[in-house]
Amino acid sequence: MRALLASRNLPSLAAAAILAVLVVAGSVRFEHFASVGNLSNLLGDYAFVAIAAVGATFVILAGGIDLSVGSMVAFTAMLAAWLVDRGWHPLATVPVCLAIGAALGAAMGGLIHAFALPAFIVTLAGMFALRAATFLLHDQPLGIVHPFLSWMSRDAAVPLGGAALPARAVLMLAVVALGAIVAGRTRFGRRVYALGGSPRSAEAMGVSVGTTTVAVYALAGACAALAGVVFASAKRAGDPTALVGLELTVIAAVVIGGTLLSGGVGSVGGTLLGVLILGVIRLLIDFQGNLNAAWTSVATGVLLLAFAGLQRALAGLGGWADRGTGGAARIEPRLPR
């Protein structure tokens, strides 16, 4: 039991248990709740949220925060719609949006490190600036009409047990898998964990704090930009008023998935569990039929508080929250810059 309490994976295991309970409860209460078709729709509907949350996971693991996620997704969605409206092929908008998202994220990371500014303030300024830029680009919803998107929604799907898994869901699963590999199997991932555990210790281990900080926010910006393209392709439109508050949903999913807000502990796989928990709660409310959708926010808030309390309690019992990234230090005592 003591070893279990000391495990940094325990919050993610708790998230998996809660997800299982929600699915079982829904299956008992509603017929066809756990059908393959519902799973496919859930993954498709929350694909852009999960993609954005992958980038946010790296930021929080590094001990930072990013409040610009929702505005970045809305901005790149509008940018993609604006470019397609001017004759660009939808696929051609992807590298442009990714480059812009990564550059803007890197700029915020650079400001945070170079001037020792709080990440909260810098990314809050980014949130306002990007939302304003979205309105300046086009102040009304802008529809997207292109044969490629029609083909994507109609034919580009993976057969899954009598249902079809949307292409955006397949892309999301690929991004999550790649993020998990980068976080858990690469030197960059170990640097991120080390930075989140203790910046001073990370620097003593040879981690370039500035480079890692900039890279983390650039990665988060690229993930948010990709989420924006996915959102625009799914909705067939860009909307300057869309996704207000998405950053809070993303942060909630990351925390519910077991990532410690102070950094150094968590996983990309856990974040996916957090996103799925939020999606299943929304699905339960939809199946009930007589409940207001606002109950999704209530349930999210309750879960967020519960997981924050769980993490704090486990930190005291297991002692892993204040030990930095001892595991990373043992794996690689001296990391190259």
Structure tokens of 149? 């998107």
User: Which residue, among 55, 307, 300, has the nearest Cα to 176 in the 3D structure?
Assistant: 55
Question: Domains along the chain?
Answer: 7-330 (1.10.3470)
3-state helix/strand/coil string of 37-66: HHHHHHHHHCHHHHHHHHHHHHHHHCCCCC
Cβ–Cβ under 8 Å, residues 10 and 314: yes
What token pair was written down for 233? Answer: 């392709």
Dist. CA 231–CA 191, nearest whole Å: 31
The per-residue pLDDT string of the chain (337 residues; one tens digit each, 9 = 90 and over) reads 555 545 567 778 888 999 999 999 999 989 888 888 899 999 999 999 999 999 999 999 999 999 999 999 999 999 999 999 999 999 999 999 999 999 999 999 999 999 999 999 999 999 999 999 999 999 999 999 888 887 776 656 777 766 788 899 999 999 999 999 999 999 999 999 999 988 888 888 888 999 999 999 999 999 999 999 999 999 999 999 999 999 999 999 999 998 988 888 899 999 999 999 999 999 998 888 777 777 778 888 888 888 777 777 766 655 554 444 433 433 343 444 4
Query: Using CA atoms, how far apart are residues 168 and 136, in angstroms rounded to an integer?
Result: 28
